[in-house]
A = this chain, B = another copy of it.
Amino acid sequence: MTGQPGALRFELLGSEGAARAGRLHLPYGTVDTPVFMPVGTYGTVKGMTPEELAGLGAEIVLGNTFHLMLRPGAEIVGLHRGGLHGFMGWQRPILTDSGGFQVFSLATLRQIDEDGVRFRSPVDGASVHMRPETAMEVQRALASDIAMAFDDCTAYPASEPQARESMQRSMRWAVRSHDHYYRDSPPGNLFAIVQGGMYEALRQESIEALSQRDFPGFAIGGLAVGESEQERLRVLDYVAPRLPASRPRYLMGVGYPQDIVGAVARGIDMFDCVMPTRHARNGHLFTAGGAINIRNAIYQRDTGPIDPQCGCSTCRRYTRAYLRHLDQCNEILGVRLATLHNLHFYLQLMRDIRSAILAGRFAALAAQVLAIPRRLAVPVA
């Protein structure tokens, strides 16, 4: 499929151990990997313009099929040239999730059967029937560069029989997703999602089931759902090397900088997470020395930047005292400046990771990032 208009091409440019540096060629542009995709739930990365995202070096964003399907509806997005690209004014690549995760985490009065899921819309209470075919049609209308197969998200914790039933349904839905998605042109790119919970044998069965169709990329689902870090790394250690080396690998919904580095070390190429944007709205700012919370009274009279080592426009222009004040006053500008800083932190981390892999010094960088404390740094006055 690679080489067709609309279909992706993935170049591997270097590696260090299992860590890979590559480049993904997509209909709307190229994406250097490992990549972090800012999350644009409702057709906007909260608080940011497309120009700002591009200025930060974002090369791809994630759009939420579930949310956009319910509001404003795929048909309204589809009235815009380039679908979601035109709607949100982002002329670079977009990956859309399938909506599966949100159906299982947000919808109420959910009834699942072999055909799909019926639920009440959290927006207006309407009854919605979502099938793998629905998810494909919505993603086609959104015109994303990469679409995701519709899956049944396994709960955590789950017994082996529960995880098996859920995984097997996801695999049947993946085949239906593939058949329906590729009925249409342009060719496009539908990624498969490996499921199977915390069970290696089920993960193996899932990978085998997905080989029934030719998927151009693979996601690892069912992680970052409440399991311990140790469990997550065990599953990653099992799954990642069993995925086709020539295809991009995407770990959904992860995570902290430390988690990203750990997953890159295991061969993951793509990440998305609401953490930098959501944390910014809660005053939680990432720095080279660990995260700080700008609401802390200690910053009230602090005329230094968030992070003296950071080159983002927030750190170049504004003091901690000002950012704390904006947060205290619930000013929109505070959210903007904090979001910009956190996204810069994540995107710079990914650039650093990629350069390090290409230069053969990823192990050293990883050790440095893993040493950053996860808890909030307590500053010394």
Interface flag for A326 (CB, 8 Å):
yes
Q: Are B333 and A48 in contact (CB under 8 A)?
A: yes
Q: How far is the CB of A328 from chain B (nearest CB, A)?
A: 6
For this complex, 5 residue pairs linking A to B, each with C-beta atoms less than 8 Å apart, are: A44-B326, A47-B332, A71-B329, A76-B300, A89-B318
Q: Are B317 and A47 in contact (CB under 8 A)?
A: no
Q: Are A325 and B46 in contact (CB under 8 A)?
A: no
Q: Which residues of B contact A301 (CB under 8 A)?
A: 76, 79
Fill in one digit per residue for A6-46: 1 if any B CB lies within 8 Å of its CB, else 0: 00000000000000000000000000000000000011101
Q: How far is the CB of A61 from chain B (nearest CB, A)?
A: 13
Q: How far is the CB of A83 from chain B (nearest CB, A)?
A: 12
Q: Are A44 and B319 in contact (CB under 8 A)?
A: no
Interface flag for A370 (CB, 8 Å):
no
Q: Are A80 and B325 in contact (CB under 8 A)?
A: no
Given A332-B335, A333-B47, A335-B332: A325 touches B42 (CB 8 Å cut-off): yes
Interface flag for A88 (CB, 8 Å):
yes
Q: How far is the CB of A85 from chain B (nearest CB, A)?
A: 12
Fill in one digit per residue for A316-332: 1 if any B CB lies within 8 Å of its CB, else 0: 01110110111011011
Q: Are B46 and A331 in contact (CB under 8 A)?
A: yes
Number of copies: 2
Q: Are A336 and B49 in contact (CB under 8 A)?
A: yes
Interface flag for A303 (CB, 8 Å):
yes
Query: Complex formed: what's the CA distance from A87 to B302 in Å?
Result: 11
Interface flag for A72 (CB, 8 Å):
yes
Q: Are A42 and B76 in contact (CB under 8 A)?
A: no
> Interface size (A, Cβ < 8 Å)?
34
Given A72-B321, A317-B89: A333 touches B49 (CB 8 Å cut-off): yes
Known: A49-B337, A80-B319, A89-B322. 14 other contacts (CB 8 A): A42-B326, A42-B329, A43-B326, A44-B326, A49-B336, A72-B321, A76-B301, A76-B321, A79-B303, A79-B321, A87-B319, A87-B325, A88-B322, A332-B332
Q: How far is the CB of A126 from chain B (nearest CB, A)?
A: 15
Query: Complex formed: what's the CA distance from A80 to B319 in Å?
Result: 9
Interface of A is mostly: loop
Within 8 Å by CB of A46, from B42, B47, B80, B332, lies: B332
Q: Which residues of B contact A325 (CB under 8 A)?
A: 42-43, 71-72, 76, 87
Query: Complex formed: what's the CA distance from A335 to B44 in Å?
Result: 12
Q: Are A322 and B71 in contact (CB under 8 A)?
A: no
Q: How far is the CB of A216 from chain B (nearest CB, A)?
A: 30
Fill in one digit per residue for A298-315: 1 if any B CB lies within 8 Å of its CB, else 0: 001101000000000000
Q: Are B87 and A322 in contact (CB under 8 A)?
A: yes
Query: Complex formed: what's the CA distance from A331 to B46 in Å?
Result: 7
Q: Which residues of B contact A332 (CB under 8 A)?
A: 46-47, 332, 335-336
Q: Which residue of B lies closest to A331 (CB)?
A: B44
Q: Which residues of B contact A328 (CB under 8 A)?
A: 71-72
Query: Complex formed: what's the CA distance from A303 to B80 in Å?
Result: 7
Q: How far is the CB of A73 from chain B (nearest CB, A)?
A: 9
Q: Which residues of B contact A42 (CB under 8 A)?
A: 325-326, 329, 331
Query: Complex formed: what's the CA distance from A329 to B326 in Å?
Result: 22
Q: Which of A243-284 contact B (CB under 8 A)?
A: none
Query: Complex formed: what's the CA distance from A48 to B331 in Å?
Result: 10
Q: Which residues of B contact A44 (CB under 8 A)?
A: 326, 331, 333
